[in-house]
Each structure stands twice: as C-alpha cells, then as structure tokens.
C-alpha cells in the first residue's frame, strides 16, 4: 500500500485526471488560458525567471535571483515566475521591493512544494503545466534560467526551442550559474553541436554568466533588438510593439 506521502497525493491527482471526462477537461484548459489572458493582458515589458523550488534562502543562487530581480525592477521591468518557493520566491521578492513594477507569480496545483509565495502583486493558479508554461513565455520578452531540476531544464529547453524555431524573435536565453550549468553547456557543444543536431547560431542564443549586470544589459539589448525587428517587419501597430515602445520611451532602452 502507498503511504500517506507525496506519491500517494500524486497518485490520487492522476486518477482524478484520467477519470474525468474529456469534455470537462476542455473547460479546465480553457479556464487556465482565459484566466491567464485576463490577469496578464495589460502587463508591460517583463522578464521571466526560472529556477528550482527547492533552493533555500541562504543559498547563493537565491540571493543572486533576488538581487537580479531588484536590478530588473529598478529598470522598469516586471518579473514573472512560477510563483512558488525557492528561486521563484527570491525573484518575486526582489521585484516586490519596488513599487514601479509588477511581481507576477503563475502557480501550479501540485501535491507538494508549490504553495504560492508571499511576494506577488499579480498571481494566477493553473491546473495544467502546458497552459502555465504558455503564459510564462507569452508575456515575457527575455528569459533567465537559474539552477534547477527537471522542471527548470524543461523550461530552459522550451525557451531555446521557441527561439530556435522563430516562435520568439530577437531573444537570448540568459543562464545564471556557471559552475552549475558548465557541464550541460559542454555536453551541448560536444554532442549536439558536434553532431550537427544544432548550429552555432543556436548555441549563440545562450548566455552563460554569473555577472548580473551583464544579464540586465543583455536583457535590455534583447528588448531593443526585438523593437527594431518588429519595425522592420511593419508590426508597429501590435500591442507587443507598443509595450516595448513605451518601455523604451522611458529611457530604459537606450
């Protein structure tokens, strides 16, 4: 028998999901998307920060995430996270300290780990990972990855895939944690790049650094690059462009 543990809670949730009718599941999926659109539709220029829910407050990466978020907020950039503890809490906390921006938490219903942290000005709970991930990416113009586990790696490669396939344009993926991620980058170079599974241009989308000021300046350069690209494509009338223009008019894009 299963003990009263995380495994048992996950099992109950799985049984509930597969036991529900497909029609009702559709309504839950729609609810996820509609709720996300309504909560975030008027959000200005934002950066999404990904990372582990298991990182403690005394961890160096927790402190770096909080400091980076403060720096981004001081530049007028909203911060979006998965809304949970760990790196997500640190990033929300850094943005929450500023009254200039929103600190957004997009939480997910799980049996453990994922209670909403106390540092959000906007938040939404999702039933499904895929709808939550759409919102984490859709309303952000830059992505920063801190150390994390399977979920963070999923979000890292999702961001890279969207950039590689042109679903998001002019965007780099910033990875904080040289010591943590160097082996992964070495694998990508020696296996994926060497075997022509990716190109050098694909690899160049990644910026691996521990320099938080470099991340901030790189994010701003990325946003400016997106603005120029949208102008070249004649997309100045879109809401996406208008958000960037408003941000740049504030002097943050120079």
Q: Which fold does the domain 25-212 belong to in CATH?
A: Rossmann fold (3.40.50)
Most confident of 31-45, 112-126, 212-226: 212-226
Q: What are phi and psi of 57, to 5 degrees?
A: -65, -25
pLDDT digits (tens, 9 = 90+) for 108-140: 876 555 689 999 999 999 988 899 999 999 889
pLDDT digits (tens, 9 = 90+) for 61-95: 999 999 999 999 999 999 999 999 999 999 999 99
Distant-in-sequence, close-in-space partners of 114: CB < 8 Å, separation ≥ 6: 53, 82, 83, 84, 85, 107, 108
Distant-in-sequence, close-in-space partners of 9: CB < 8 Å, separation ≥ 6: 111, 112
49: nearest Cα among 84, 96, 86, 81: 81
151: nearest Cα among 95, 85, 219, 207: 85
* Dist. CA 54–CA 175, nearest whole Å: 18
pLDDT of 7? 55
pLDDT digits (tens, 9 = 90+) for 167-212: 887 788 999 999 999 999 999 999 999 999 999 999 999 999 999 9
Element (H, E) at 78: strand 78-81
- pLDDT: is 175 or 7 the higher one? 175
pLDDT of 86? 97
What band does 41 get if pLDDT is binned at 50, 70 and 90? Answer: confident
Rounded to two decimals, the pTM is 0.88
Q: Over 90: is that where the pLDDT of 36 sits?
A: no
Most confident of 11-15, 41-45, 163-167, 176-180: 176-180
The CA-to-CA distance between both ends of the chain, in Å, stands at: 62
Element (H, E) at 104: strand 103-108
Q: Give the least confident one: 134-138, 143-147, 247-251.
A: 247-251
What band does 16 get if pLDDT is binned at 50, 70 and 90? Answer: low
pLDDT of 1? 42
- Looking at residue 194, the DSSP 8-state letter turns out to be T
* Dist. CA 149–CA 162, nearest whole Å: 20
Q: What are phi and psi of 207, to 5 degrees?
A: -120, 110
pLDDT of 184? 98
pLDDT of 249? 80
The structural domains of the chain, with segments of one domain joined by +, span: 25-212
What band does 22 get if pLDDT is binned at 50, 70 and 90? Answer: low
Q: What are phi and psi of 190, to 5 degrees?
A: -80, -20
């Amino acid at each position: 028998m299963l003990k009263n543990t995380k495994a048992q809670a996950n099992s109950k949730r799985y049984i509930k999901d597969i036991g529900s009718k497909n029609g009702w599941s559709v309504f839950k999926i729609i609810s996820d998307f509609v709720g996300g659109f309504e909560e975030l539709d008027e959000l200005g220029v934002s950066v999404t920060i990904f990372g582990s829910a298991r990182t403690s407050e005394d961890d160096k990466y927790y402190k770096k995430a909080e400091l980076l978020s403060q720096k981004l907020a001081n530049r007028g950039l909203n911060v979006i996270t998965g809304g949970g503890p760990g790196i997500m809490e640190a990033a929300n906390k850094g943005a929450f300290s500023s009254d200039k921006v929103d600190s957004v938490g997009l939480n997910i219903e799980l049996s453990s780990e994922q209670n909403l942290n106390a540092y959000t000005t906007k938040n939404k709970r999702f039933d499904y990972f895929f709808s939550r991930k759409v919102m984490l990416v859709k309303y952000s113009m830059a992505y920063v990855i801190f150390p994390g586990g399977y979920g963070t790696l999923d979000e890292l490669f999702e961001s890279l895939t969207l950039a590689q396939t042109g679903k998001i344009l002019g965007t780099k993926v910033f990875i904080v944690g040289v010591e943590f991620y160097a082996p992964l980058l070495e694998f990508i170079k020696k296996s994926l790049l060497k075997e022509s599974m990716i190109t050098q241009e694909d690899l160049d989308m990644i910026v691996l650094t521990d320099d938080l000021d470099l991340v901030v300046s790189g994010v701003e350069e990325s946003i400016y690059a997106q603005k120029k690209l949208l102008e070249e494509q004649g997309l100045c009338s879109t809401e996406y462009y208008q958000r960037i223009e408003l941000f740049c008019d504030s002097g943050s894009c120079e």
